[in-house]
Amino acid sequence: MSDKLTLQLIDLHAGGDVSRIVTGGIDPLPGNTVREKMEYLREDADGLRQLLLSEPYGIPEMSVDLLVPASDPEAEVGYIIMEVMGYPIYSGSNTICTATAVLESGLVPKREGYQRFILESAAGLVHIEARVENGVVEGITCEGLPSYIDTYRASIHVPAVGDVTYSVAYSGGFYALVEAAELGFSLNRDEETRLAECAHAIVEAIQAERGFSHYTLGDVGPLPFLHFMGPVEQVADGFFRSRSTTYVHPGVICRSTTGTGTSARLALMHHEGTLQPGDKLETVSLRGTGFIGEFTGSRQEGDHQVVENTITGKAYVLASSDIVINCNDPLVECGSLHHIVTSGHRKTEEALPVEEEASLPD
């Protein structure tokens, strides 16, 4: 195999969060489902995630989404999400970017007006509605994962912060939800470093004190995320807005409010009785970008009221490129890449397994 490897990428951002969509250059991965392929990457081929989220190719604030063949015949294509903290089974911003990328690349033919299709994530099937105007993808609405409140207004003492009141929601990962004003924050961009430091201290304290278990998935690891909530204002009948920001990793505050953070917020507002089915919440980031979450319904699952929801946002294409991985570069570690990266310069459709190409549109 050559010491120079090539990957095909489409870079986009949704709400400011950059997602690198890997469209070609990766060999077929073992596994019968997208979830199994994700687990293979996580356990045996983590070099791809590390490469694209580290210098000289990327930074930890970015995300990577690898396109793979879908295992479910209803889905057009599958995708695996990779972030600095690992392999989340779902992400709203990554889904918005991936859905836009498959339309812009032609894997799903683009049609004027509204069109619907299905993607397959590690969490399962995701229904997508795209709005196309004059050939441009102007908006993506995707399903948020069913979300619920695990803990409501608990208290914990955090060194260097003080006593903190928090709730915990599950929306694709467990989120601590805290009122920004109670911690002295106005949610302005110049607070970003202090927000990250404060969130890290709170998350570490919660992790040291307790764990969380999903009602069907069981143990999904320690609580990783924290969502700072600003005041909620009602801007129209059934439409609310709130400044928000999400911490995902030491030193990393998301540029967007995140789709899963918005879903978590919907679950909390429903728990507090302030949302009705059909109501919408726009979360607004430190940079002024926003996602719109819609509360579409709820159901009882054991002890939990589970909130069904959708997330709407827009992704912007930044670049379409081939990147060269030079394994002789002292800044590049190729040891965990050689067994999954194709040595040639094959394009997207050629990089998909031949026996599964029929699942993709012509």
- Domains of the chain with CATH codes: 4-134+317-336 (3.10.310.10), 146-312 (3.10.310.10)
What is the structure's pLDDT at 3?
A: 65
Could you tell me the two tokens for 173? 């990962």
* CA pair distance 211, 188, nearest whole angstrom: 31
**pLDDT, tens only, 25-49:** 999 999 999 999 999 999 999 999 9
Residue 344 has pLDDT above 60, yes or no: no
Residues that are catalytic? 91
Mean per-residue pLDDT for 200-221?
Answer: 92
Is residue 51 a contact partner of residue 57, using CB atoms and an 8 Å limit?
yes
What is the structure's pLDDT at 343?
A: 54
Is residue 17 a contact partner of residue 287, using CB atoms and an 8 Å limit?
no
**pLDDT, tens only, 84-141:** 989 999 999 999 999 999 999 999 999 999 999 999 999 999 999 999 999 999 999 9
pTM of structure: 0.91
Between 327 and 76, residue with greater pLDDT: 76
DSSP H helices, the chain, are 34-44, 47-52, 92-104, 192-209, 259-271, 348-351
> How many of the other CB atoms lie within 10 Å of CB of 255?
22
What is the structure's pLDDT at 341?
A: 83
Residue 67 has pLDDT above 50, yes or no: yes
Residue 216 has pLDDT above 80, yes or no: yes
Q: Which residues pair with 127 in a beta bridge?
A: 118
Mean per-residue pLDDT for 207-220?
Answer: 90
* β-pairing verdict for 124-133 and 304-313: unpaired
What is the structure's pLDDT at 357?
A: 37
**pLDDT, tens only, 227-269:** 999 999 999 999 999 999 999 989 899 999 999 999 999 999 9
> How many of the other CB atoms lie within 10 Å of CB of 144?
28
Using 50, 70 and 90 to split pLDDT, how confident is the model at 153? Answer: very high
